[in-house]
Chain A
Amino acid sequence: MSLKNIVRELKEMRDGIGSMSRRGGSGSDGRAGHGRSGSRHSWPSLWAEQQQQQRQGQEGPQHQHQHQGRWANLPPELLLDVIQRVESSEATWPARRQVVACAAVCRSWREVTKEVVKTLEECGRITFPISLKQPGPRELPVQCFVRRERATSTYLLYLGLSPSMNVENDKLLLAARKVRRATRTSFVISLVSDDFSHSSSTYVGKLKPNFLGTKFTIFDSQHPPDAVVLPNNKPSKRQSKQVSPRLPLGNYNVATVTYELTVLRNRGPRRMQCTMHSIPAECIQEGGKAPTPTGTIQSLDEPVSTSPSTKGKKVAVEFSSTSLSADLSGPACSNETPLVLKNKAPRWHEQLQCWCLNFRGRVTVASVKNFQLVASVDPSLNIPAAEQEKVILQFGKIGKDIFTMDYRYPLSAFQAFAICLTSFDTKPACE
C-alpha cells in the first residue's frame, strides 16, 4: 500500500468517525514502536489499537517529557505536508541537501520523503544519487560543467552553468579517474572524488576503450531496469516508478561509443556514434518512457555473504573484478532496437574558416572534443522531425580544463558523463 493511499485512507476514516482520537494514547513511549514508522502495519488495525488505549484512559495531560515520543508518531498526513513544504522550497543545490537530510532522519521520514520526491524527468531536480541514473527532463536540459584535474587524471562533474565564485557552492555529481593498467587505460566513475575503488559503495560504473581507442564500452554497476515502452498510450502514473531488478552489483554493459574519421581524416571533425543498449529507440516516441530506476543507487538487495566482516561489500568485489573476463561484456538488456545517438555534423564556415556547431553560447572554445548528439532513428518509428533535431547531449570547452555538459531525456547524468569522458581519451588513430 503506498504511503499516499495510507494517508488518504486515514483521512477518510477520521472524517467518517468524527471525534475519535487519533493521537497515540501512550505518548511516554519514545520509540517509534507503534508501527507508524514503517508501512508494514496495516493502518486500520493500528487505529483499533489506539481506540483501545483511549478507553483504558491512557490519554493524559500533555507533560513536557512526553513530547519526546510524540513527534515520532506525527500523523502521516502532517508529516507529508511538512516534508512537501521542505521539498518545494529547497529546489536548488546546495539547499536541496535538506531533502536528503529529511530522508535520513528515520524510517517514516525516509518513506515520506521518497514518496514526495519525483523522478528527475518529472520535476527537473536532482535530489538523491539515484537521480544521476534517471533520464533527464524532456524539454529543458540539465546544465552541468566538467573540470579536468590533469595532475590526478580526475574529471569532476558538477551541476551548474559554470564554476561559481565560491567552490563550496558547486554541487559535485560524479567523479571519474583515468586508471592506467598494463594494457590500457580505463575510467572509473564514482559518487565522490576521493574514492575510486571498485569495491567501494560509491562506485558507480566505468568506461573502457578498445586497444585503438576508437570504441568505448560503458559499464554500469547496477543493472538497468527494464524499459516500459508505451508508444501508443500515455504512461500511467503507476508505471512511472519502476523498481530496479534485484540483481547483484556487477559491470553491466549499457552503451558503446565509437569514433570514426571521415574522408577528411584529420582535417575534419570525427564521427561519433553511441549505441544505448539500455534505452530502446521507441522511448523517444510520443508517450514513450525511458527506463527510470528508483530506489537507491548501489542498493545491495541480495542477501549477502556469511562473512560478518565484509558483509555487502563482498558481493561487489566478486562481480566487479578488474579483469576483463569478469565483465558482462554483452549488452545488458536484450533490446531489439537500442537508441542510437550520432553527432551532429558541423558546418564549414567559409568566412571563419572553421567547423561550426550552434552551441547556443554554452561552448566558447574551439576543440576537437566539442560535440552535439542527436537521435538517429529508423523512419518506421515515426519520430517527429522536431524530436529528431533535439540535441540530447552537448559537450564543449569554455576554458582551460573546463567544459560544459548539457543533457536531457532520455539520457541520464551517468550515461552523459561517461559519453563525454570518451572525448578525452580518443587516440591518435582518431585525431
Chain B
Amino acid sequence: MRMYGEEHPNQQILSRIATNDGHGENSSYFDGWKAYENDPFHLTGNPKGVIQMGLAENQLSLDLIQDWMKKNPQASICTEEGVSEFKAIANFQDYHGLRAFRKAIAQFMEKVRGGRARFDPDRIVMSGGATGAQETIAFCLADPGEAFLIPTPYYPGFDRDFRWRTGVQLLPIHCHSSNKFKITHAALETAYRKAQNSHIRVKGVLVTNPSNPLGTTMDRETLRTLLSFVNEKRIHLVCDEIFSGTVFDKPCYVSVSEVIEDDPYCDRDLIHIAYSLSKDLGVPGFRVGVIYSYNDAVVCCARKMSSFGLVSSQTQHLLASMLGDEEFTTSFLATSRRRLCRRRRVFTEGLKRVGIHCLDGNAGLFCWMDLRPLLKEATVEAELRLWRVIINDVKLNISPGSSFHCSEPGWFRVCFANMDDKAMEIALMRIKIFVYRENDAAVPAKNKRRWDETLRLSLPRRFEDLTIMTPHLMSPHSPLVQAAT
C-alpha cells in the first residue's frame, strides 16, 4: 500500500498497523473530547465550561492514599526513610516482579472478593495497565484472524487493546434492555454460530465484570452459563475484573474466581482474569496491570511478554507496602465504596427527579442512562443528534451508547466519580434545565426546528464501520476536570 509514498513523497512507508484506524481515535466522536478540551469546566475560572462526564476515573478517595503515603515515607525509595532500598529496587528488572508486590496484589484481590477466592502470587503477571494486559492475553490465546465473542455494550478501548496489533477480531454477543442486558445462553449460541457461518474460528469469550458501561455485576447464574458454554465449546473465558473493587451495593460481587472454586468440572486452563489498580485505587498514572491465569502455559508466556510492559520497580515497591497494609486496605475499600455509593445515589436521584432513569447498578464509576424517551426516533442518528446537543448546549461530555456498540439507541454512559460535589450539583442542574426545555419544546410543534439548528457536522452513515470513540475513553490526553477541591 504505497499510499504514503504518493501523498507525502518524503514519508517512508509505514506498516498497515501504523497507518490504519485500529487505534480507534479517528472518529467523529472525537468532538465530545474536543468540546471539553476547548472549553473545560472550572468552578471559578470557567463555570460555564463543558463538564467532563466521559472519563471513568475514581477521584473520590485519593486523599486516603495520599494520607497513607505521608504516614509511610519508608514506602518510597526516594525519602530519607526509604532510600536505603533505592539501589536494589532501581536495579530490579526481573519480569517475575517483586515477590512482595505479587503477594500484596494477590492479598488485595482476595480482600476485594471478601476472601471468597484465593489467589496464588506466583500466577500474578504484570502488564502495562489493563490496556497491556488485554493485548497480551489476546497475543497468548489467539492468532490473527481468530475471534473472541464479547457482550454488547462494551468498553470501546477493547477494539484497540484486543485487536489492533494482534489481528484478533471481536464479535458481538447482543444484549438487550428487555432483560437488563444480561448475557443469555441463546445470545452466546447465536454469536458463536454466526462466527462459524463466516468461517471465523472463535477462541474465547471476553467479558467485563463489573460491566463497563452498565455498572452492574454478573449474577452467579450468568457466570455458570458462561463457564458451561466455554467448557462445552473448548474456548477461553477472559474476565476483565478491573472494577471489582468498586462494587458498592447489593447484589454482592461474584467473581469468576469464586465460581470455578465450586465447579470441579470446569477446565481451569480456559480461565483468565485481567485486573488493574487504575479504577479501584484511582491510580491510572502508575500503570499497574495484572494478568491472572489459571493456565500454566499462559502464565509462562504472558510473563515473558510482560517484558514489553513491566510495572516500574519504584511503583511495585510502593504498592507492595501499601497493599500489604491490611488495615489500610480494609478501611480504604470500605470508605471508597461508601463514597461511590453515595455519589451514585445523589446523581441517580437527581436524574429521577427530572424523569430520567438509569439502569439499576451496583458498581463502577458511571451510570447507564436511559434517554430513549428523548429521541425523536429510535435510531443511531437520532442518538448522535441528541448527543451533540448535550455536548454543545447542555455542556456535558457524556458518551453515546453507539460508541459502546450498544444495539439499542438512546443509552448514554455518564461518569460520576471524577468530579467533586459542586460540579456534580451543577451537572444535575444543567440536566434539569435541559429536560424542562425539551418538555416545553415537545408541546408546540414549531419549536421542533430548534433541534435541527443545533446540528453540526456530518454524521456517520454506517456507524458499524467505525471503530469508535472519544480518545479519552481509551487513552486520555489530559486527565482532570479542573474543579476546585
The finding on whether chains A and B are genuine partners in a shared complex, rather than unrelated, reads no
